[in-house]
A and B are shown apart, each in its own frame.
Chain A
Amino acid sequence: MQILVNGEPVATDASTLAELCAKLGFTEAKVATAVNGCFVASAQRALTPLAPKDEIEIVAPRQGG
């Protein structure tokens, strides 16, 4: 299915957000996630199913003011 990850189209067969993070290499990374504009805590990623056209945000700490 096609989804958007950080605004970019991605084809994936991941059925959950945790699977998607693993496929993208983020399992051990310091990241936070949201699906369709709603925060998903790390402990909930394995319980969060993905659907076509979902919009996923994966963010990390960064410099700011």
Chain B
Amino acid sequence: MFEIYGERFASRLLLGTAQYPSPATLKEAVEASSAEIVTVSLRRESARMRAGQGFWELIEELGVSVLPNTAGCHTAKEAVATAEMARELFDTPWIKLEVIANDDTLQPDLFGLVEAATILVADGFKVLPYTTEDLSAAEKLASAGCTVLMPWASPIGSARGLINRDGLKTLRAYFPDKTLIIDAGIGAVASGRGDGARL
């Protein structure tokens, strides 16, 4: 079983909801994957377009757990405000915390990440921080109260797979009881799953 803050799931797969050709394809993908958790985001809503309202109805229809993220945030302050908005919108204390250092690599800003995680945990959030394999950052996130870590495999969208396998193994050795979710750059799902299983 796979556990996130005391909740258990039969599937270890978390499915993103972006870049599907249509809502119907997204729905079919979620159902076919048996994923029990999907990641979602927030965007500015246009009074004319109302794009978010239809998406929300689709998510409710799917009946899966949602993991909102703070994508696009570059400071701890922005990430905290976004997390608070996400908690109200999605009615969940879970937040995939992203604080991005720069727009080229989408590398996590580990300093801002720890700052935001500390604030959010104190406010009752269940934080899933998008981090690197850096052990010192992981220790600080753990001290802040994160029981789940989301280290990257490689930069988002690069599909390079696990570029620092030793670093991820070290994280696992230091945190044998924490849920580690390898989050970015995995590439093909099959290879990512296989690599993850060997850590």
Contacts and interface: CB of A to CB of B under 8 A. Distances in A.
Interface of A: 6-7, 24-26, 29-34, 37-39, 41-42, 57-65
A63 B18 contact: yes
A52 B41 CA distance: 29
Instruction: Bin chain B's interface residue count.
Output: 35 or more
Given A29-B53, A65-B18, A59 B39 contact: no
Given A26-B45, A39-B84, A65-B39, A60 B89 contact: yes
B63 to A, nearest CB: 15
Given A57-B81, A58-B45, A62-B52, 13 more contacts: A6-B45, A26-B47, A30-B52, A31-B89, A33-B85, A34-B81, A38-B81, A58-B44, A59-B85, A60-B56, A61-B52, A64-B39, A65-B19
A62 B43 contact: yes
B42 A61 contact: yes
Interface in B26-81: 26, 39-47, 50-53, 55-56, 59, 68-69, 71, 77-78, 80-81
A41 B56 contact: no
B43 A60 contact: yes
B145 interface: no
Interface in B74-119: 77-78, 80-82, 84-86, 88-90
B85 A64 contact: no
B20 interface: yes
Nearest to B83: A39
B61 to A, nearest CB: 13
A60 B88 contact: no
A30 B51 CA distance: 11
B16 interface: yes
A9 to B, nearest CB: 14
Contacts of A29: 45, 50, 52-53
